[in-house]
Amino acid sequence: MSAATEAFLAMLAAERGAANNTLSAYRRDLAQAEDAIGALAEASYDAVASLAGEWADLAPASAARKASALRQFFGFAADEGWRSDDPSAALPRPRARRPLPKLLGHDEIAALFARAEHEAAGDDPAAVRLLALIELLYGSGLRATELIELPLHAVPRDSPFLTVTGKGGTTRMVPVGRRALDAVGRWLAIRPNEPASRFLFASRKGQPLSRVRLYQLVKALAARAGLDPAAISPHVLRHAFATHLLEGGADLRVLQTLLGHADISTTQIYTHVDSARLVALVNSRHPLATRSTSD
C-alpha cells in the first residue's frame, strides 16, 4: 500500500478510534483499489471512474462499502494537501438496501437454551462456558467481538451490569439478567486458571476466544438442539434480543442504548418485526383514536 493510504489508516485509528475489524476492512478495500488503479493519492478522475467496472460483479452493499472507504480517503487527501481535486464524484453510488435481521422465534430460543442447560447440568467446563456465552448473547445483546473480548474485571460483583467496550472503543453499561449472572458465576467457578488470562472467555493460549470458534460453537449447539445451524449465529442471537425486547414493549431509544448503536436509524430496522403492535399502539394511544370520524 502507498504511504498516503497507510497515513489515512493511522488517522482512523488515532483520531477516530476505529475498531480493528473496521481498519482491516478499510485496508483491504484500499489495497484492492490501488492494485487496480495505482496510488490513490495520484489516481486520475478517469481511473477512479473505472472502478465501477472492477466492482460490477459485487453485491451492492460491498460496492457501497468500498466507495465509502475511498470517499473518506479522498477527503483526507484533500485536507492534507496531497490532491487539489476530489474525484469522489467518479465513484459509483450503488443503492444497498439494509438487510432485515434474521428472525428467531421464542420456541427456537427455548429449544436452544433447553439443550445448552441440559448439557451444562453436569458441570462440564466446555458446556458451562457455552451456556454463559449464549446467555450473554441473547440476554444482553452483545456483539460477538464484544463478548469474546470481555475482560475479567467487566464481570459485575455488586451491580447487575457489564461494562462493554463497543465499536470505536466506546464503552456502555449493559444490564445482565439473573440467568446470565448465574451462568457466568458457574463458569468463573470452574474456569481454568492456566494459562493466566485477563479475558473472561479465553482460548487455551490465554487469548480471547476467536470469533470463528464462537460461531462454530453456537452453530453446533443449534444442530444438537434440532435447529437449522444456517439460521443461527451469535449475531442472530443479538437480533433476537432486540426483536423480543421490542415485542415486549421496549422503547426504541432504550434499545439503541442497549445495542450500542451510534445512530437510531440503525436500531429502527427492528421495528418491522412488530409492526402490528406499533399500529395498535397508535390506534389506542393517539389523541384522535377515541374520536369517531363523524365528530
Which sequence positions are flagged as catalytic? 143, 167, 235, 238, 261, 270
Phi, psi of 80 (to 5 degrees): -80, -5
Cβ contact 65:29 at 8 Å: yes
22 vs 159: CA distance, rounded Å = 32
68 vs 72: CA distance, rounded Å = 6
33 vs 155: CA distance, rounded Å = 43
12 SS3 class: helix
Cβ contact 240:138 at 8 Å: yes
**Minimal CA–CA distance to 132: which of 171, 88, 176?**
176
